Structure 1
Amino acid sequence: MRRVPRGSTPPPAGPSRSAPHPPHFGLLRPLRLAHVTFPDRGDRMRFVTRAQWGARQPDNGHSPVASNKGVKVHYLGSLFVGIEHHQCAQKMRTVQNQHMDGNGWADFGYNLAVCQHGYVFEGRGKNTQNSANGNTTLNRDHFAVLGFVGSSLVTQPSSSMITGIQDAIAYLRRHGAGSEVRGHRDGYSTACPGGPLYALVQDGTLDPGTLYNGGTYTVQVNDTLDAVSLQFNVPKTYIIAVNDLTAPYNLTVGQSLKIPARGVPLGAGVPEGGGGGGETPPPSGRVPFPGTEWFKASPYSPIVTAMGTRLVAEGCGLYTTGPGPQWTETDRLSYQKWQQKLGYTGADADGWPGRTTWDLLTIPDIGVTPEPVDYEPFPGAAWFTANPNSPIVTAMGKRLVAEGCGLYTTGPGPQWTETDRLSYQKWQQKLGYTGSAADGWPGETTWNRLRVPKVTPVDFEPFPGAAWFTANPNSPIVTAMGTRLVAEGCGLYTTGPGPQWTETDRLSYQKWQQKLGYTGSAADGWPGETTWNRLRVPRQTALQYEPFPGAAWFKTLPHSPVVTAMGRRLIAEGCSEYELGAGPQWTESDRLSYQRWQQKLGHTGAAADGWPGPTTWTQLMVPRS
């Protein structure tokens, strides 16, 4: 998909201004944007300084460049096998050594470099002549940005790298770079920056577009996160982070959103006169990397199906049926084949996805965000010897299968059996235990290493309301809050904490707000919903379940978070008939899943028609949404 230029003049600065809107959204209202200062958090350009990656001192001073025509993009120019992010700083040092000791240059040759994981590394830095473009004139006419792709093997930039290069160009534009984005070959006879990266130079994908200086925006009717992201040329992941948004990222009319400034490192202010022209933003991205731990939790998600589809397209699929939404050993073996295709061996090709190989797989965005992984706490040894029937046993069995320790011929299922014990024994033996320490009965150490994904409801105190605290409550909730503040290093207590709200509680909470980056009246020590939810205070009051909405309610085909919560419980009970996960709209998949739940409880015939009744609903224990 090519991007269409749309003019390069940014809107005037000030408390109120208008911005162009992508035509496919059809939005013509003005954008109310006011400049603000943001706390130092992971919501903007991920910038790695020279000191942070361990750069050598240059051999001589750099020649300053106040302004120029723009930026030229480069690549490594040799075979590149791909690396994990913890190796990127070493790659920077290797390139710098090559430039200084091999080429005889005074320093690392480029102004900035961007790794496959989207981090922008400071090379020579801003407003400095580089040595990479071919001669002195070329070096002064354009700043140089290196992308971590090679001439063979790993040649395709990841979606994170594309975002990082856009950030790097935005950063340089804020420090004097002109509007041009060119490839190294545009001024010098070379293959650099390689075909894939040069194609993105040519079609405008690497241009960050119009740069806004950050501020706040009031959500209007029909706004979506994607629309707001396009309006301000800021990746939606940055907007999600700075506003602490949670999936499914539905916006509310009148909601105030912070809009971070593109091309500004964390902790830095927007330069005087910062701005620049641009085009429309790049096409919708790829599925973001959920994290290796997410896969080890044996997820059931359409993301797994999308991954499997791409593995098949790459000739790495080992599926006999599928791929499907449930992560299985076949998914791991197929992914291992993909890692080997990229040149990885040994522990680097174990079949568990890493960020580099995931980004190189380029899975198209399917509009689904992976939920964070939480793990089941150890239920206690006695819990297993009581032969439990619980979704925790099913989740445990799936993890044992994923670890190559499953001895099941059917299942696993919720009823603890001798097969569960023998499978767990195999897990203990895999960890090196023998004798009575490998008897198949779970212990806390081996359980924690198994990382069984949480299937029971997450149990944290809901926000009691701002007025509750100003009434000086005496409650176990205050004690639990204080205990969490101490754990976060924010407790100022000399004794306690205790159940009575005191000035010490307020000052401790103020320290927590400041730790999160809040200042002024936003850090006054009185709890608000956002900071409370991030504190994760363990529940002290009884967990509330959704009351039965009535049989007729379901037959109206409702659209409600209650339906989502119900679906998640059905999935946890192993009763899912969903292809794309649980959502708020009642569908035939909900009815069929609920029918499986009724059958699991022993109902048949008309009593298992998939339409919820009060008894089966109460037994499902749907958390209040």
Structure 2
Amino acid sequence: MRLVTRAVWGARPSKYSLVYIGATSGVKIHYEGAYVPKSLAAADAHSACAGHMRDIQASHLANTAEDYSDIAYNAVVCPHGYVFEGRGLHRKTGANGNQTLNAKDYAVCAMVGSSGLVQPTDALLGGLVDAIDWLRNGGSAGPEVLGHRDGYATACPGDPLYAWVRAGAHRPDGSSPQGGTSGTASGSSIARYQVEINGLKYGYGATGSHITKVGQTLVAKGFGKHYKVGPGPEWTDADTRNYQDFQLSLGYKGTAPHQDADGVPGEVSLHQLLGSLPGKTTSSSVPPFPGRSAFVLGKSNPAVSTLDRGLVRKGYTRHNDGNGYQPGPRFTEYTRENVRDFQRATPALAGDAYGYPGPLTWRLLLS
């Protein structure tokens, strides 16, 4: 599962306190019910999905008739298979049609519409199953998977997605959503899923020399107390617990499976642990930091164009002159505000989010 947390996609705070919900009967599947550009599904367009998510939230918060507390969905899945955290786990949705239906099921929306992009990609279908698993494992969702139109008069989630729901909500490979978390001997839950970062797998059962390297680095930094025989090439529960201790030391919150400090690596924490990201793309591909003097408000420097391309690629472009954000050599107030959005959305940078790039901002934005 590739989970994009609220902090990472740049969510605005909830307007009101979200209502806690202990468990649901299951999950309702939704679509946007409006035009979604086909270009959003292009292989190189994932950087635009965070901005699309922010647009959905903004439209919900601006809806005076519904007076939503936040984005209405618990999760939203993009065409590239990433699961964007909406209201999240154990929060009552606002999307299912009325208060009774909202309390009965969680809501997951696919980034497809009633026109433009109407056919879900295989990656999106796999991401929907990931979202269902996430809500079952971490949010006590029941086994039910239905369309929004089941129980409420609406065309949502559109005919293609509804046919998928009726056929069993399978992944493209034919497998179905799974339920439950793996338990320890003491009965507490521990994260036992995998993530892929730069082509390498991490998490329970993953193997390789890169796993040994993570374990050795954890030990070197004082996070090895759960090992009995030392780190090895297979990721075990001991690796998860040690990595969780490291995440907690960085200020991450939430130790349940699929939360930020559940012991499974993300790109930012792994980069902080190792100093680079092993795999297909490493920090060596990032140009050297040009120095803070390259980023002076109102001044031009070629490095600003490189910075801008990183902002555009990762979707941090909401501040602009009304004609869209375009890369260029001049460091403007729009540039600074977009950099600040990226810093606020990145846990390693959020404590010093003032909009001027330093070496870590440069590396994380361009990697």
Higher relative contact order (CA 8 A, sep 6+): 2
Greater strand share, 1 or 2? 2
Q: TM-score, normalised by structure 2?
A: 0.49
Q: TM-score with structure 1 length normalisation?
A: 0.30
Higher alpha-carbon Rg: 1
